Amino acid sequence: MPDEHPNSWKQQGYNPDFVKSVLARRQVSQSAPGRIVRVPGVPLWVSELINESARNHGLDVGRITSKDRSSDAVIARNEVLYEVRRKNPRLSFPKIGMWFGRDHTAVMFAIASHARRNDLPKLTEFDLDRHSAARKRYIEKRKRQRGSSRRIVLPLRLKSTNQSGVR
């Protein structure tokens, strides 16, 4: 039973009425189709895109804007990033990345991969094939380095403590 867990709300001493009210508010916010959950620090039109994608994919808004790397969250996030760039191509990648807590190259990769996955027009010149080849080369290089790197422990050479200054 979930209430028996040591971190459950009953074990933590929360008021049951408070917990019920919080759970009811969560259900209303997730089930209300017309309601928009405003994402802090993001323009309203981007929040609307995030909410629409969350509804379409059956996700919580927080999973799209978080660091969640599960495939369903990544696909929804990539869709939102693509739509943001499509609706306003003059936005810079660092600005879009700032809204989602991502680096500009991560935004470019997400937009390019969404376009390729869904056969959509490219909105960035990011080359996925080149990136993939470079990543494979890097992984192979690291494997070779790990395989050939054996730690050789050399004895420390202590400086001579000759007071005369002659070595």
CATH of domain 14-134: 1.10.1750.10
pLDDT-derived band at 40, boundaries 50, 70, 90: confident
Give the whole-angstrom CA distance, residue 107 versus residue 16: 42
**C-beta separation of 59 from 73 below 8 A:** yes
Least confident of 36-45, 101-110, 127-136, 150-159: 150-159
What's the gap between Cα 98 and its chain centre?
Answer: 12
More confident residue, 26 or 52: 52
Backbone dihedral region for residue 43 (phi beyond 0: left; psi -120 to 50: alpha; all else: beta): beta
Please name the residues in contact with 28: beta carbons below 8 A apart, sequence gap of 6 or more.
35
| Domain residue extents for the chain | 14-134
46-85 pLDDT per residue, tens? 999 999 999 999 988 889 989 989 999 999 999 999 999 9
pLDDT-derived band at 152, boundaries 50, 70, 90: low
Give the pLDDT of residue 32. 56
pLDDT-derived band at 20, boundaries 50, 70, 90: confident
50-55: long-range contacts (C-beta < 8 A, 24 or more apart)?
50/80, 53/77, 53/79, 53/80, 53/83
4-13 pLDDT per residue, tens? 555 566 666 7
